[in-house]
């Protein structure tokens, strides 16, 4: 039993949408959807939605701070919400959908306040930051059908996120701003062609198609972790192939009808870079083959994770 676990609690609007950003991160032990901050004991979903309980929809996260520190949890939280909206989140309106960081310790309070000030000072948003920072209160888990909703009802979940405007807002305010001239200086011609012009590098003539070392593969533009050597396999196609992403919520998949074919394109959400395509002819356990251009990736060896700023992923290889 790990005795070094801590608890973090965040209200970010619809709690369905606040699970996926955290549940696949290293060091996260569990994420529970629930209600907190109000006066009614053991409220139901209907009671909270009636705005009579004082509760917020929230997620409570059990995590290992040595693997994934609280600072990074708070940073992840900010990148899921509109912190300038005092009336709810996106098309969910009312008190129960407002944003709050609930701190469990004075250290968490200091981190939260410092991060809020940093966002205010950054000028990223033209309106005031209204997300509150409040002491943690009793937390009541939501009904079973709300837990892991994204896994139980993936189509409804994806449709809801997109329809609510959350995904669009995140892309507009938190994705990497790409200046084409800067990218042309920092990327090789092939990296630029692949990531910015939806190009494809030659098979068997790229950096990672036969790389068998242990580590993670990150977005060459944004640095976001995308794939792991644990999920890499030799598909015989001449490009790096993976059974699944490290974090599904960092990947976007769209229908691609170019070149007279119907394929599912894979893009990085954070940078909107073209990565490759996904096919349904891969091995188990997923049956999928994420066929990715080496030029869209940077490999970080497991021994270099700490040095390169990805220390939380060391636990994958221990």
User: CA-CA distance, 204 to 53, in Å (whole number)?
Assistant: 61
Q: What is the dihedral of CA 219, 225, 229, 232, to 10 degrees?
A: -60
DSSP state, 176? P
Place of tokens 């032990």: 29
Element (H, E) at 190: helix 189-197
What are 252's strand-pairing partners? 267
User: CA-CA distance, 187 to 295, in Å (whole number)?
Assistant: 9
Place of tokens 């644990």: 230
User: CA-CA distance, 277 to 291, in Å (whole number)?
Assistant: 5
Q: Token digits for 282?
A: 């891969």
Contact 90, 167 (CB under 8 A): no
Q: Residues with catalytic annotation?
A: 14, 291
Q: Token digits for 137?
A: 């209160």
With 0-12 / 13-18 / 19 or more C-beta atoms within 10 angstroms meaning exposed / middle / buried, residue 207 is middle
Cα R_g (the chain), whole angstroms: 21
User: CA-CA distance, 98 to 87, in Å (whole number)?
Assistant: 6
């Amino acid at each position: 039993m790990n005795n070094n676990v801590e608890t973090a609690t965040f209200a970010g609007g619809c709690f369905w949408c606040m699970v996926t950003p955290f549940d696949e991160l290293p060091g996260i032990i569990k994420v529970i959807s629930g209600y907190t901050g109000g006066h009614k004991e053991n409220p139901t979903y209907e009671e909270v939605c009636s705005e009579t309980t004082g509760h917020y929809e929230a997620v409570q996260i059990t995590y290992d701070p040595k693997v994934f520190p609280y600072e990074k949890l708070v940073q992840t939280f900010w990148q899921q919400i509109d912190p300038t909206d005092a009336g709810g989140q996106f098309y969910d309106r009312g008190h129960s959908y407002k944003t709050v960081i609930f701190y469990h310790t004075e250290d968490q309070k200091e981190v939260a306040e410092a991060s809020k000030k940093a966002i205010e000072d950054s000028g990223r948003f033209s309106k005031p930051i209204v997300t509150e920072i409040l002491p943690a209160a009793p937390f009541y888990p939501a009904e079973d059908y709300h837990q892991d909703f994204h896994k139980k009802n993936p189509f409804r979940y994806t449709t809801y996120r997109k329809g609510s405007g959350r995904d669009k807002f995140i892309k507009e305010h938190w994705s990497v701003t790409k200046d084409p001239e800067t990218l042309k200086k920092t990327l090789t011609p092939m990296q630029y062609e692949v990531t910015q012009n939806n190009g494809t590098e030659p098979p068997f003539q790229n950096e990672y198609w036969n790389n068998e070392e242990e580590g993670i593969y990150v977005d060459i533009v944004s640095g976001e972790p995308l794939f792991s050597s644990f999920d890499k396999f030799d598909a015989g196609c001449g490009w790096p192939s993976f059974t699944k992403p490290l974090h599904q919520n960092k990947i976007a998949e769209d229908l691609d009808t170019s070149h007279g074919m119907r394929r599912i394109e894979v893009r990085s959400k954070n940078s909107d870079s073209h990565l490759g395509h996904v096919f349904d002819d891969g091995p188990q356990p997923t049956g999928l083959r994420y066929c990715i251009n080496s030029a869209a990736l940077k490999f970080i060896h497991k021994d270099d994770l700490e040095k390169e700023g990805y220390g939380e992923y060391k636990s994958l290889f221990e």
